[in-house]
Each structure stands twice: as structure tokens, then as C-alpha cells.
Amino acid sequence: MPSFDMQGMRSIDVLKTAYLTANVLNIEEPAGLLKGLLVDPVSPVFPGTDSIEFGREQLGREGAPFIPTEAAAVFVGDRTRSMTAMDIPNIAMRKSIHSGDIAQDRSIGDQIFVNGSAATTQSNGLAARVDRYQRDMVRRIENTLEWWVSRMLSDGTVTYSDSNYDAFSYDFGRSADLTVTLTGGAQWDETTAEPIEDIQTIKQLVADKEYLSVNTAICSPEAAAAIRKDLPQKFNARLDNRNLDEFRQTSYIDVTAPYAQQGAVTPIGRINGIDFWEYNRSVTLFGGSSVPLVDANSIYFMHVGQGADIRQFYAPVYDMKEAPGRAINTELYSKSWSVDYPSEMQMMVQTRPLVAPFRPDFCAKLICL
């Protein structure tokens, strides 16, 4: 979509639905590491409905039989497949724009609020305020989707419950044995630990389930500290971190991408063909408490690439005033409307996203402490 510049427009245009939606779609707030790495490279799907049929297929393990040339073809079974209907959730937020913000609007070129050599028009000031409000709401959406992906990686389920808003639970069908918990004597902060064997076990689990190779490990701060402390003296001795600059260039995580430049992503090194990174970030759910994006004492081992088969869906938005009887298929939607008392405008940003892994066993969790 071409870039959209709201500067210079009068306030009546700034608050039109077409301009608000165009502007919010062009806002480039950086995604978190998990969403930026796994979801954003995937083109979004617009199913045109409020729900999707989510299904995962178990890859066939059997080979094909050799038969005599004159023999009849052999009947074989189909892939194991399960289907679940999932309603796509809804996010909608709004902010107020008071009449005083618009009352002193000037025509383009009328300079007020002069400060030295700097000047702006009232309409430009309103456009900047609208853009700031939209950016705040887009940032909240990005935080929520980053939390969504983190839950998907943790155990293959996303559960949300708020007595004031909504409640739902999506189970993407990840195998329970892909969560491995180390117990006393085997934990990575103990001298008897065998971290190399644990890593190989995790790799084998994912390979057996999905025929995928683990290439990336995202560590919680506690797990990263255990790796660096290296009490068993077995991890760092084999960790290929001699040239972190080269590691950054060849890793599946792009250190030049916005998601890797937020101060919460730290390279550790490579071992057994797996790039290890520390991700030290949390998200505060709306009206709730802070949630770490990598579970405490844990490492998420995953395959990064098309084989993970992660897809993002967007249900349509409905607006009886702007598009009566029609579905609006868009990632983000924004509009404004007037409120009689108190005298104000209200502006909304809405999205209806669902991220789903169609091969959920692409990721395994190791609780190593």
C-alpha cells in the first residue's frame, strides 16, 4: 500500500474513516521477537467469515509397497486428520477527541502555535494527535499478539479469561510429551546435568513428530543465566560463540529487523546446529498482571521456516454505517464518530486476528531449572 500522509489535511478529513483506516494500516510499530520471527513473514488470510476450520494432519510414517507389474494397485489409508471450528476473536479500542481539539481549526497555511522558527496549523496538530492515538492502540495490539504467540509456543494452547470482556481457549493440539521438565540432579544449574543430551532429546522429539529440524532456541532470562554460568562445565565448552558478529549474520534471527532491536534480545551462541538467544520481555495483559513471554526457567526449541506452517487469519469487520450489509476484510480498521454529550468525537481501532500453527509440534519446551 502506498504511504499515506495526513499532514496538511483539515480536521474534517483527518477524522474520516477512509483516512483513519489508511493511516492505521501504514503505522509501522515493531512487532515482538516471536511474532516478527514466526508470523509476520506469513501472508495474512482473509476467510471472509467469523470462524475457521482448524485442522492438523499427522504425516504418514509408512512407505509405499512394491508390487508385481501386473498386480492391482494397493489400497492405502488417508492421513490422520482432525478438524475444529474456531471463532476468531475481536479486539476493539477507542479514545476520545474533545471538541476543543477541533474548534480552533485553521485553513491550511494559517500558522499558529509558533515557537521560534517552528510553526504548525491546527489541523496538523490534530493529525499528529490522531496518529499518536492510533500508534498507541497498534502497539497494544502488537503486545497482545506477541503474548498470543508466546502461549502457542509454551504448550500449544491460548487461554484468555476476563470477567469484564471475553473468555476463550484454543487448543492447537500440540503433543503433551513436547514439554520436558528436568528434575533434581538433571537441572542445568547442577553439576550432574547433561545439557547436550537434553538438547539432543528435544531435537529428536521434534524430528519424530513433524520431520522438522530444530534450528532456534529462545531462552528465558533464568535459563540464559544458567547457560552463561555453566556450572556443569559442559555447555560453554561446546558453544560456538567465538565470533558473535558472524553468529548474528548467519542466525535465523535477523539482528537488523525491528523485532531484534528493542533491547530484550541477546545472542548467546550456537550449539548442535541451534542458535540460542535470550528473550527478556513481558507483556501486561489489559487490566491484568505482567506475563513473561518465555516461561520462567524454560527454553523454547523450534523450527523457524516455512515448515512450521504458521498462518494468520483476519475475520471481517462489520460497520452498519460505513458499509451496511458488507464485510470489511482488513487487518486493521479505524473510524470516528460524534458523541452528543459530552461534546466529543471518539476514535476506534479494531482488528480480528487469529494465529494458528498447523504443525503445532514444530516447537518443544524444556523446563531446565
- Cα 138 off chain centre by: 13
State residue 53's pLDDT score: 86
State residue 325's pLDDT score: 85
What nine digits make up the cell of 77?
489409508
State residue 101's pLDDT score: 62
Q: Which pTM value belongs to this model?
A: 0.85
**pLDDT tens across the length of the chain (369 residues):** 334 444 444 445 777 898 899 999 998 888 899 999 999 999 999 999 999 988 776 666 677 878 888 888 888 776 656 678 899 999 999 998 877 666 555 544 555 555 554 444 555 667 778 888 999 999 999 999 999 999 999 999 999 988 788 889 999 999 999 999 999 889 998 989 999 999 999 999 999 999 999 999 999 999 999 998 877 677 777 776 656 666 666 777 887 788 877 778 988 888 888 999 999 999 998 777 889 999 999 999 999 988 889 999 999 999 988 888 899 999 999 999 888 777 788 999 999 999 999 999 999 999 999
State residue 114's pLDDT score: 53
| Run of H or E residues at 266 | strand 265-271
Burial class for 65, CB neighbours closer than 10 Å (0-12, 13-18, 19+): exposed
State residue 232's pLDDT score: 62
Helix, strand, coil abundance in the chain, percent, nearest 5: 25, 30, 45
Contact 365, 298 (CB under 8 A): yes
Report CA dihedral (307, 309, 310, 316) to the nearest 10 degrees.
150
Distance, in Å, from the CA atom of 303 to the CA atom of 337, rounded to the nearest integer, reads: 45
Domains of the chain: 11-58+82-169+313-357 (3.15.30.10), 176-309+360-367 (3.30.1930.10)
Q: Is the dihedral of CA 319, 321, 324, 329 positive or negative?
A: negative
DSSP conformational letter for 251: S
* Region at 181 (left for phi over 0; alpha for psi -120 to 50; beta for the rest): beta
Q: Pairing relation of β-strands 298-302 and 167-171? A: unpaired
- Would you list the DSSP string of 85-144? EEEPP-EEEEEEEETHHHHT---TT--EEEETTEEE-HHHHHHHHHHHHHHHHHHHHHHH
